[in-house]
């Protein structure tokens, strides 16, 4: 069974990288499944708890790192939640023209 993956990414700049990763996850022999828990509208109330509940439904977290990810407070908070939950995670470094390169954290 494919591992369920939560993705953290800069929605404003790196959605195309996430879309490419979803495409890869749909390959017949893919060992992972991307859970579509992205938030297109800001959460109201305790959004961190809502993200935490969504993340708990997954087995791993992938943080897609693009040029501006370091400025994306939501990504920072999602990574912090993953660490608090002791979830395994790794970073995918976005490259020029939207390709990705694996970087294990």
Q: How far apart are CA 78 and CA 47, in angstroms?
A: 10
Residue 61's nearest CA partner among 4, 1, 5 is: 5
User: Which residue, among 34, 37, 60, 33, has the nearest Cα to 50 in the 3D structure?
Assistant: 37
Return the higher-pLDDT residue of 57 and 43. Answer: 57
pLDDT at 98 over 80: no
Position 24 scores a pLDDT of 87
Helix (H, G, I), strand (E, B) or coil at 6: strand
Q: What is the mean pLDDT of residues 47-55?
A: 91
């Amino acid at each position: 069974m494919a591992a369920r993956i939560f993705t953290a990414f800069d929605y404003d700049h790196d959605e195309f990288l996430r879309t490419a990763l979803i495409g890869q996850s749909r390959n017949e022999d893919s060992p992972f499944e991307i859970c579509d828990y992205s938030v297109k509208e800001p959460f109201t109330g305790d959004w961190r708890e809502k993200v935490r509940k969504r993340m708990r439904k997954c087995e791993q977290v992938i943080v897609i790192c693009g040029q501006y990810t370091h400025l994306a407070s939501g990504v920072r908070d999602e990574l912090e939640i993953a660490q608090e939950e002791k979830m395994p995670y790794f970073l995918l470094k976005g490259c020029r023209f939207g390709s990705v390169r694996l970087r294990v954290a």
